[in-house]
Amino acid sequence: MRYEANTLDKPKPSGFDFRRFVLTADATPNDRLQAYVEIEFERLAEIEVERGVDRSDEGVAFAEDLEGGNGGEISMEQMWGQFKFGDPFSVRLGQILVPLGRFNINHDDDKWDIPRRSLVDRNVPVLPVRSAWTELGVGVTGSKSVGKSGQLSYQGYVVNGAILDFAIEKVVEAEEGQSILKLASEVGLTRGPVNGEEGVRAGTWRVGYSPTLTTDFGFSGYIGRYTPDFLEVDERLTSLGIDGLWKRGAFALEGEYIHTHLGDTDRVVNAFIDTVTGSTGIPPLAGAQGTEAEFAITDLTPSRRGFWLEGRYRFWRERWKDTFLGKGFDDPHLSAVVRYERVKLHNAIQEVAIENGEIERGDAETLRQERTTFALAYRPIQTVVFSVATEFNRRLEGPVLVFPRGFPERRYATILAGLAFGF
């Protein structure tokens, strides 16, 4: 759960934000067989569907009513089975976490001390699909000791892969004395389908090496076609990541760099326009009176890159053990955290829309933003964290912020408070 207030000119209302509730289940029916499931409820308190048929003398009415909070989501975050051939080699198949960078594979909120995920992995994101990014596929995973204190780990999968998919948005709007039903078909990059209809299109891997317990670094990648068959264009998405963790006593330094390349996005946009206009180049006109239809492709960027670097210092004073912070807990502690992050979207097009006989194409803009976060976290036990944080955001390039997208402010600050617990 999170509380947020910021200094943007038109901020979203400050309030408690139920970020996510994650149910996990795992089983090891045999030492060589393992299964894991993670189901996430994000900003979701209720979903209610009502359907009915009402028959009267005048005719019949079929009605459907969907109730639920804004932004609610239920998601199968992970669901995989694993067969162990031997210590250094297991086969894993199912809905797996894409091992790009280190955050996505360690995304559980109770592991982190700052109550908001990074720009790179979630808010922008530079990761092709915002974390937690999972894909359906099959692959291998394992680790092996190297020398006296080293450990080499690897994972590699073939997956259905991220894809430009569409969502349909419905809006009822009052406009100049009449009601209008607007339908918008929005195409954007999402995690791959789970019904196999677009085929196996991507591969992803990570190799990690830990020379000692205090040092760990990894190289990771993702490559795959992201354009769907209906666009009749073939473009690839390539991502590379470098990440690491270094610890010394109570101090830890952790970071990640991701570079994503989406190929020739102009070709993708042109293919989209071609598809919607039926290769005539003439956009479809408005539909029936009282309705409007819009086709849009969003958030295409030829390349994006970004990094975050987080320093944590864990501390505790024995004289606090009998205070409300320490009483009854074995090893409570506080952590002071600083995270610096920077992202760049190169030639980003926020939206290309086709509406009422017109094609609206926004200018390509290069956007850069940095964020520095200072946080204090209190952990009475390892899996429970209370945290407060202050973010300082600064626009470095482009006319608007990258996050939240479209705001013209040069700088803004945010105060966050969060609670995460695992049990």
Partner 1 sequence: MERPMTLMRAFLAIAIAVTFATTPLRAGQDATTVYLTLDQAPKSLFPGAQIERKDVPSTPQFKEMLKAKLGRVTPTVWEESYPTFTATQDNKTVGYAVVVDEIGKVNPFTLIVAATPEFKVRDVAVMVYREPRGGEITQKRFLAQYKGKKSSDPILLDRDIVGISGATLSVIGANRAVHKALSVLELVYR
Strands, DSSP E only, in 134-250? 134-146, 150-159, 163-175, 178-190, 202-212, 215-225, 236-248
Site for partner 1 in 143-162 (CB under 8 A): 145, 148-151, 156-158
Strands, DSSP E only, in 7-133? 15-17, 20-30, 33-42, 47-56, 59-68, 73-86, 89-97
| 30 sits near partner 1 (criterion: CB under 8 A) | yes
CB nearer partner 1, residue 29 or residue 177: 29
Half-sphere exposure in the Cβ direction for 334 (13 Å, CA): 12
To partner 1, the closest distance from the beta carbon of 122 in angstroms equals 19
Site for partner 1 in 304-333 (CB under 8 A): 314, 321, 330-331, 333
Of positions 2, 107, 191, 201, contacts partner 1 by CB under 8 A = 201
Site for partner 1 in 227-246 (CB under 8 A): 245
C-alpha closest to that of 256 among 117, 395, 359, 96: 117
Of positions 213, 280, 289, 324, contacts partner 1 by CB under 8 A = 213
Structure tokens at 341: 């992050």
Of positions 106, 190, 270, 347, contacts partner 1 by CB under 8 A = 106
CB nearer partner 1, residue 252 or residue 359: 252
- Whether 357 contacts 286, CB under 8 Å: yes
Of positions 7, 14, 28, 179, contacts partner 1 by CB under 8 A = 28
Site for partner 1 in 284-303 (CB under 8 A): none
- Whether 1 contacts 17, CB under 8 Å: yes
To partner 1, the closest distance from the beta carbon of 289 in angstroms equals 44
Of positions 68, 72, 88, 404, contacts partner 1 by CB under 8 A = 88
Q: How many residues bind partner 1 (CB under 8 A)?
A: 50
- Whether 343 contacts 126, CB under 8 Å: yes
Q: Determine the Cα–Cα distance for residues 63 and 25; give it in Å rounded to an integer.
A: 37
To partner 1, the closest distance from the beta carbon of 230 in angstroms equals 16
| 394 sits near partner 1 (criterion: CB under 8 A) | no
| 179 sits near partner 1 (criterion: CB under 8 A) | no
Which helix (H) or strand (E) segment holds residue 265: the answer is helix 265-276
Tell me the window of 25-33, 49-57, 360-368, 387-395 that interacts with partner 1 (CB under 8 A).
Answer: 25-33
CB nearer partner 1, residue 228 or residue 283: 228
User: How many of the other CB atoms lie within 10 Å of CB of 236?
Assistant: 16
Taken as a whole, the chain contains a residue count of 423
* Residue whose structure tokens are 């955001």: 393
C-alpha closest to that of 410 among 421, 400, 422, 418: 400
CB nearer partner 1, residue 90 or residue 373: 90
Q: Determine the Cα–Cα distance for residues 276 and 380; give it in Å rounded to an integer.
A: 56
Q: Is 156 exposed, middle or buried (0-12, 13-18, 19+ CB in 10 A)?
A: middle
Residues near partner 1, by CB under 8 A: 26-32, 34, 36, 85-89, 91, 106, 111, 138-140, 145, 148-151, 156-158, 199-203, 212-214, 216, 225, 245, 247, 249-250, 252, 314, 321, 330-331, 333, 382-383
